[in-house]
Structure 1
Amino acid sequence: MTLQQITSRVHVETAHLGSNNSIIVGDEQLILVDSPHRPTDAMQWNKTVSAFGETRFIVNTDHHPDHTIGNFWMGGDVVAHRGTRERLLTDAPTDEYLRDLFARIDPDAVALVDDYSVRVPNVVFSEELDLHVPGASLELTFRPGHTANSLLAWFPQDAVIFTGDIVCEAGLPSFQDSRLANWFDAIDAVAEHDFEYLVPGHGDVADRAVVDHYRALGREVVSQVASAIAAGHTRDQACDEIRFEDNIHVDTDEYVGYPDSLVEMFQRRSIARIYDDLVEDPSLANR
């Protein structure tokens, strides 16, 4: 645990494999942002959170497992965009997938799979939703970008924005559920907020400089794919040739990351997604 207090009411854990996990402390109740990926982290996180008070809401910034698996071990209502609920109801990880994944990233959790079930959001919205607990209010806005159901969470009291994987300080996440136009629009939407602290989906808590840096990383890989298309390379060729640095799913000194096969799949699907979007709209190469 490396729990960091960034304001009087906001605490952030950035050391978990998977998404960053945050606590907004109201006068009596809590609002959480995203839940741990590894079940053993989730159970420990629940103990940590409980020391601050009762959880009223837990917000999922998208449907991906590294933001939602831990819901099962947390309290409160689960809140997300309605698309997140739909994806978790129709396309949640299978037990076989979870056993294989946990065997690598969280061996003690393999035995928990039989009793695990996906805890889907029971409070959903389409465009905007404000969450209120005594002493704290969080503004949620639908902002497709990293996924078609991503959201931004804005805590104006302390000028903190929680971006999920719309902006990641650690580097680029997968593009496989993105559309390029939305991806860049979402980054622009983050920049429009007058924030002091940005809590990314992955990586360290940051300031405004991270937005431009993250946008530049995206432009770099988009430029590579655009050059491949201009050179007449096929989609498969581009997927074979182009890679971006993955600092999110790989091993670190703190934890074991995803197997190489999954990391490779994310890369290929990401390049394919970018390729298809650029073929459809070449002007996106200039975003």
Structure 2
Amino acid sequence: MSLRQISAHVHVETAHLGSNNSIVVGTEGLALVDTPHRPTDAMAWRKTVDGFGTTRFVVNTDHHPDHTIGNFWQGGEVVSHRGTRERLLHEAPSHDYLAGLFARIDPEAVALLDTYRVRVPTVVFSDALDLHLADVHLELSFQPGHTANSLIAYVPEDGVVFTGDIVCEAGLPSFQDSRLWDWFDAIEEVASYDFDVLVPGHGEVADRGVLERYRDWGREVVGQVADAIGRGVDREQASAEIRFPDNIHVDTEDYVGYPDDLIEMFQRRSIERIYEDLRERPDLAAR
């Protein structure tokens, strides 16, 4: 664990497999931003969090398992965009999928699956919502980007913005749930905030400079797909040949990552998504 205090009210853990996990500490309780992917990390995280006080809110920045599985082991009300609730209600990972995944990334958690359930948000919003903890608050704003139901969380008292996977310092996440125009627009929206510290979905806590680096990584892969389309390469061939570095799902010195077949699926679906969006909107290659 490498929990770090990044501002007067915010503590961030960046060492978990999956999303970064944050604690916002107010005089009237805590708000968490995203929860651990591995159940054993989630249970340990609960003990850490309880040391700061009582959790009132758990904010999910999107519906993906690496942001939401740990909801089950946390206190408080789960809060999200309404689209995240719908995705978790109707498209949550199956028992068999989780059993196979946990067998690789968290073997001790396989035995927990009989009691685990998907904990869906009970507080949802369409456009914006404020969560108040007395001396500090979070401003939640709907912002499609990494997914159609992504959100941005902002602590104005500290100048801290939480982007979820709208921006990642570690590298590019999957594009499979994105639309390319939203992907670029969301980065511009983050840039419009008055912040000193950016907590990305994955990777180290950063400053405003991460936005241009992240935008450039996206431009690079979009440019490769646009070039393939220009040369008459079909979608299937492009998705078989074009790859971008995956620094999010792979093994590291600290943890075992996803199996190769899942990483390959994410890559293929990402390139297919970009290909389809560029066929619809060729102008996006110039973003």
TM-score interval, smaller chain: over 0.9
Could you tell me which residue of structure 2 aligns to residue 41 of structure 1? 41
- 1:158-178 C-alpha deviation (Å, 9 max, x unpaired): 000000000000000000000
| Counterpart check, 1:74 vs 2:74 | yes
Q: Which amino acid aligns with 2:229?
A: I
Q: Which amino acid aligns with 2:216?
A: A
1:134 CA displacement: 1.8
1:220-259 equivalences in 2 (<5 Å): 220-259=220-259
Q: What is the DSSP-based 3-state SS (H/G/I as helix, E as strand, rest coil) of the residue aligned with 1:130?
A: strand
Could you tell me which residue of structure 2 aligns to residue 165 of structure 1? 165
- 1:189-221 C-alpha deviation (Å, 9 max, x unpaired): 000111100000000000000000000000000
1:240 CA displacement: 1.0
Percent identity of paired positions between Structure 1 and Structure 2: 72
* CA RMSD in angstroms, aligned pairs only: 0.4
Distance in 1, Cα, partners of 2:130 & 2:10: 17
1:187 CA displacement: 0.3
Distance in 2, Cα, partners of 1:51 & 1:99: 31
| Counterpart check, 1:218 vs 2:218 | yes
| Counterpart check, 1:30 vs 2:30 | yes
Distance in 2, Cα, partners of 1:195 & 1:169: 16
Q: Which amino acid aligns with 2:82?
A: R
Q: Which amino acid aligns with 2:230?
A: A
Distance in 2, Cα, partners of 1:243 & 1:118: 32
- 1:91-138 C-alpha deviation (Å, 9 max, x unpaired): 000000000000000000000001100000000000000001122110
Q: What is the DSSP-based 3-state SS (H/G/I as helix, E as strand, rest coil) of the residue aligned with 2:113?
A: helix
1:57-206 equivalences in 2 (<5 Å): 57-206=57-206
TM-score normalized by structure 2?
1.00
- 1:235-265 C-alpha deviation (Å, 9 max, x unpaired): 0010011000000000000000000000000
Q: Which amino acid aligns with 2:101?
A: L
Distance in 2, Cα, partners of 1:68 & 1:262: 18
Q: What is the DSSP-based 3-state SS (H/G/I as helix, E as strand, rest coil) of the residue aligned with 2:114?
A: helix
Distance in 2, Cα, partners of 1:277 & 1:180: 6
| Counterpart check, 1:17 vs 2:13 | no
Q: Which amino acid aligns with 2:183?
A: W
Total equivalences in the alignment? 287
Question: After TM superposition, what 4+ stretches of structure 1 lie above 3 angstroms from structure 2?
Answer: none
Q: Which amino acid aligns with 2:261?
A: S
Distance in 2, Cα, partners of 1:226 & 1:44: 45
Q: Which amino acid aligns with 1:232?
A: G
Distance in 1, Cα, partners of 2:30 & 2:124: 18
1:28 CA displacement: 3.1
